[in-house]
Structure 1
Amino acid sequence: MATTHAPAIPELTGLPLLGSLLDLKNDSLGTFLKARRDHGDVVRISAGPPGFRGVVHCVFSAEGAQQVLAGDAANFRKDNAFYQEIRESFGNGLLTSQDGDYLRQRRLVQPLFTRRSVDTYASAVADEVARLTDGWRAAGTGTVDVVHEMTGFALRAVARILFGTDVDAAVGIVERCFPVLGDYVSRRGYSPRKPPRSWPLPGNRRAAVAHEELYAVCDRIIAERRAAGPDAVQGRDLLTLLAAAGDEDGGFDPSELREQVLVFLLAGHETTATSLGFALHLLGRHPEQQRLAHEELDRVLAGRTPGAADLDKLPYLTQVLKEAMRLFPAAPAIGRRAVEAVEIGGHLIPAGADVIVSSWVTHRHPRYWDDPERFDPDRFLPEREAGRPRYAYFPFGGGPRACIGQHFSMLESVIALAMILQEFELEAIDTHVPVGSAITLQALGPARCRLKPCTP
């Protein structure tokens, strides 16, 4: 319930002419941390010159995040400028759609992401991990950038699950085009004033070329698959299942199918790559925790390849991943727009306001986490998890728009982490990896680890 007597929302102090525009562009995550530290759990941040100034209302408490994402989710929509930029670059798939479009898409896609359905992809994930580790051994290199390597692995894995044998046709184009569009979306999403996409500016032209290449490769694979028919495809890749999905309203038309594919490529590889890359780097910096992970793997797997049934048997490895996702959440800031005025944390958020909840900040909130910058997988022992508010930790979002692929992400991450640690011990070379936020969390510097092959 909104009240007219709520105290004014504190505002982060910025420059007289530009507000906090430069701070947000240069280090949005650090700016959000400073806002909470200096002003509390609900903070107003303005950015841009007078006349073009934008304002966001940041909500940092677990209770506030729960209200925005779950309790009052109907009042907080994906109507902000950032989501519009994603729509224009990647289409109106499950990540960005709303209302009837979203409900229909979710209804069609949900059966493909049940635990039983997702578990059938475990062997494909394991094959891609083996391809990666075999390559490391064959190259004879003692050093790899684990975040970079996990980005390539996760892209191949999700492309294989989507496209089956057509994986190589898509991977090169996605590797080249996604970073161009991700940077473009981020720059425009944070800009209070941006030129039309139709203007022949260098950035617009680069994004348009990347956009056309991505759409073309997806359209070609989809058209070839539909022309061949489902019986011509070996196995049950996700594209075949998506093309066959239907209900009383029918299935996806070709453009809708392409947009779902692009969203799954985007969300399905960048998020998992972030979790895996930083989990490996953190273990490389913390030999005691790495030793405990190796001991669990030796005890449970005894050298065999893990499968879906092993996820529940590897609790410590799962704790490692959860702690990596706490410290380096793939979606560090989630935006919404308030439909009606609402009170959060004793402050009135006005109707039409842009609102941000930040897992990057809430996952470091000293009210919920002791010594929050310390890597400690034991934070996720069951009894300690039970003692925290539900939304003190939300790496996959929450509420009715929670990530539909979270079980797939955990399946892929546990299998990959287990198989890599069965083959190698890691020692971090770079003790600090700078990060920034685009569509997802990005490593801005190398995350190198030395690899030492495990002895039988």
Structure 2
Amino acid sequence: MTTSTRVPGPAGLPLLGSMFDLKRDSLGTYLAARRAHGDVVRFTAGPPGLRMELYAVFSAEGAQQILATDSANFRKDNAFYQEIRESFGNGLLTSQDEDYLRQRRLMQPLFTRKRVDGYAAAVTDETAGLLDRWSTAPDGTVDVVDEMTRLALRAVARILFGTDVEAAVPVVERCFPVIGEYTLRRGYSPVNPPRDWPTPGNRRAAAAMEELYGVCDRIIEERRAEGDAAKGDDLLTLLARAERSAERSEENSAEGALDASEIRDQVLIFLLAGHETTATSLAFALHLLARHPEQQSRARAEAVRILGGRTPEAYDLDALPYLTQVLKEAMRLYPAAPVIGRRAVADAVVDGHTIPAGADVVVAPWVTQRHPRYWEDPDRFDPERFAPGAEKDRPRYAWFPFGGGPRACIGQHFSMLESVLALAMVLSAYELEAVDHRVPVDAGITLRPKGPARCRLRPAARD
């Protein structure tokens, strides 16, 4: 392969480069850049003196190199991840090196398939409550974006906090949007005032963080105070139990355990990553099914046949292959993490182009999962793309909504379990008809719908 030191890219405006295009519609800008310039594209953005360079990689092979085979050279050292650390703590999403390895080792036993399958009852209980509320929906219409966000938040908060879910959820609903917008704004700004300056934005975010941290710290302290008497199986209780085991073990000294602030960091990251991503996948799966009656009927028939009117359990996941295909196709078209950022440590050759040391780099599931080299008629909703045998001829990283390599999402199985079981229950109870046929989106910390995705509900026909 010939190596080129000159990476092609859009010229942009004379003084600001592609800054406005990336701010206005980064996802559309990346799609257009791939069509015009190929699989490795260089953007410049910002005024002289504050200008940044960004290298975007769109091929599956390039994504695999950055996230997996050459992952040590592409680190989470960029400004955006630093802002997330400052707002949500140094948990698994943001930590690096020994911190990350230690956290992953301590957290992994809580995310085995057997352990995660034990969370199914929390998911189905919360979904049952949602379906009860839908029975009195005004005009029989619901916004699946709002509904799935609340469902996913309540499910993950219940798994994290157990019986304290009712105390935690209102605080998260109130504080997360404030902190998220603040983090996003700072992450994309070339210059930011210090966080301790008393600007209106800093003060609003600080108040939201104080309230959110406060409720987490209170619940954590209660779990730790309960000691061995703690009876629950929520994640906080399990983390506190693991901390005590590490303190008592000669092999695992206290330096191998998570202290109270580190437990809070993990909780905040799980709240962020565990509800916004799953909510996005669920909302767009329902939105797409509401627009495609034939696929919706097939998915419902599978759910009704397997469940026969009973509440699904974890073991049903493998018996619902078409629902899984629907979810994977929704995640292809609407990946919850549409863009993944890294920073290059040393020069690297990706797809024949040199990316210099110190450069900010992104891979984009939003683009790669629409790449015509891997996906025929890529904008069409077609769950058959994930039928048995259909994936064997595609590159591994043609579909990577959970990231990949050593930093792949630890909660993959939980997200799939929660989403498929919830979809099965919703489709068994209701037929959905799309009211909003187009739902614009943009890239925040996760993929963000810019408007409602309303669906009209009809009770599903019973055989």
- The bucket for the TM-score relative to the shorter chain is over 0.9
Distance 1:124 1:93 in 2: 24
Amino acid at match of 2:227: G
Q: Do the aligned residues in 2 keep the contact of 1:429 with 1:450 (CA within 8 Å)?
A: yes
> Of 220, 223, 239, which aligns to 1:242?
239
Amino acid at match of 2:407: R
Distance 1:316 1:237 in 2: 31
Distance change (3 Å), C-alpha of 1:307 and 1:130: same
**Residue in 2 aligned with 1:382?**
388
What SS class does the counterpart of residue 142 from structure 2 fall into? Answer: strand
Distance 2:102 2:359 in 1: 27
> Of 438, 448, 452, which aligns to 1:432?
438
**Residue in 1 aligned with 2:88?**
90
The 10-residue stretch of structure 1 (298-307 or 261-270) with the greater mean CA deviation from structure 2: 298-307
**Residue in 2 aligned with 1:344?**
350
| CA deviation map 1:313-358 (0-9, x unaligned) | 0000000000000000000000001111010000000011110000
Which ranges of structure 1 fall in alignment gaps of 5 or more residues?
none
> Of 297, 301, 308, which aligns to 2:307?
301
Distance 2:90 2:293 in 1: 44
Amino acid at match of 2:260: P
**Residue in 2 aligned with 1:271?**
277
The structural deviation recorded for 1:228 is 2.5
Q: What pairs up with 1:248-327 in 2 under 5 angstroms?
A: 248-250=252-254, 251-327=257-333
**Residue in 2 aligned with 1:368?**
374
**Residue in 2 aligned with 1:359?**
365
Distance 1:338 1:38 in 2: 24
- TM-score norm. by structure 1 comes to 0.97
Distance 2:193 2:29 in 1: 26
The structural deviation recorded for 1:7 is 3.9
> Of 439, 444, 452, which aligns to 2:450?
444
> Of 423, 432, 442, which aligns to 1:417?
423
What SS class does the counterpart of residue 219 from structure 1 fall into? Answer: helix
> Of 223, 243, 249, which aligns to 1:225?
223
Distance 1:197 1:40 in 2: 39
> Of 121, 124, 128, which aligns to 1:123?
121
The structural deviation recorded for 1:306 is 0.9
Distance 2:303 2:282 in 1: 17
What SS class does the counterpart of residue 354 from structure 2 fall into? Answer: strand
- TM-score norm. by structure 2 comes to 0.96
Distance 1:230 1:278 in 2: 42
Amino acid at match of 1:136: W
**Residue in 2 aligned with 1:161?**
159
The structural deviation recorded for 1:103 is 0.3
Amino acid at match of 2:125: D
Q: Do the aligned residues in 2 keep the contact of 1:331 with 1:440 (CA within 8 Å)?
A: yes
Q: Do the aligned residues in 2 keep the contact of 1:29 with 1:437 (CA within 8 Å)?
A: yes
**Residue in 1 aligned with 2:29?**
31
Q: Does 1:58 align with 2:56?
A: yes
Distance 2:60 2:417 in 1: 26
**Residue in 2 aligned with 1:73?**
71
Q: Do the aligned residues in 2 keep the contact of 1:89 with 1:185 (CA within 8 Å)?
A: yes
| CA deviation map 1:343-399 (0-9, x unaligned) | 000000001111000000000000000111100000001211111000000000000
User: Stretches of 4+ moved more than 4 A in 1?
Assistant: none
> Of 187, 196, 199, which aligns to 2:197?
199
The 10-residue stretch of structure 1 (199-208 or 397-406) with the greater mean CA deviation from structure 2: 199-208
Q: Do the aligned residues in 2 keep the contact of 1:322 with 1:380 (CA within 8 Å)?
A: yes
| CA deviation map 1:389-430 (0-9, x unaligned) | 000000000000000000000000011000011110000000
Distance 2:291 2:373 in 1: 26
The structural deviation recorded for 1:249 is 3.8
The structural deviation recorded for 1:141 is 4.3
The 10-residue stretch of structure 1 (179-188 or 317-326) with the greater mean CA deviation from structure 2: 179-188
Distance 2:230 2:184 in 1: 40
Amino acid at match of 1:31: T
| CA deviation map 1:117-163 (0-9, x unaligned) | 00001111100000110111144640000011000010000000000
Distance 1:249 1:355 in 2: 38
| CA deviation map 1:183-239 (0-9, x unaligned) | 111111111222221222221111111111111110011112222235244x30111
Q: Do the aligned residues in 1 keep the contact of 2:430 with 2:458 (CA within 8 Å)?
A: yes
What SS class does the counterpart of residue 390 from structure 2 fall into? Answer: helix
Distance change (3 Å), C-alpha of 1:266 and 1:230: farther
Distance 1:8 1:249 in 2: 51
**Residue in 2 aligned with 1:396?**
402
Q: What pairs up with 1:121-160 in 2 under 5 angstroms?
A: 121-139=119-137, 141-160=139-158
> Of 333, 336, 355, which aligns to 1:330?
336
Distance change (3 Å), C-alpha of 1:364 and 1:165: same
Q: Do the aligned residues in 2 keep the contact of 1:46 with 1:56 (CA within 8 Å)?
A: yes
Distance 1:340 1:236 in 2: 44
Distance 1:81 1:403 in 2: 21
What SS class does the counterpart of residue 384 from structure 1 fall into? Answer: coil
**Residue in 2 aligned with 1:406?**
412
The 10-residue stretch of structure 1 (130-139 or 46-55) with the greater mean CA deviation from structure 2: 130-139
Amino acid at match of 1:315: P
What SS class does the counterpart of residue 267 from structure 2 fall into? Answer: helix
Distance 1:428 1:193 in 2: 42
The structural deviation recorded for 1:167 is 0.2
Distance 1:249 1:281 in 2: 49
| CA deviation map 1:228-286 (0-9, x unaligned) | 235244x3011111112255143211100100000011100000000000000000000
Question: Aligned residues: percent identity?
Answer: 72
Distance 2:348 2:179 in 1: 34
Q: Do the aligned residues in 1 keep the contact of 2:130 with 2:151 (CA within 8 Å)?
A: yes
Q: Do the aligned residues in 2 keep the contact of 1:45 with 1:57 (CA within 8 Å)?
A: yes
Distance 2:197 2:77 in 1: 24
Q: Do the aligned residues in 2 keep the contact of 1:109 with 1:245 (CA within 8 Å)?
A: no
Amino acid at match of 2:234: D
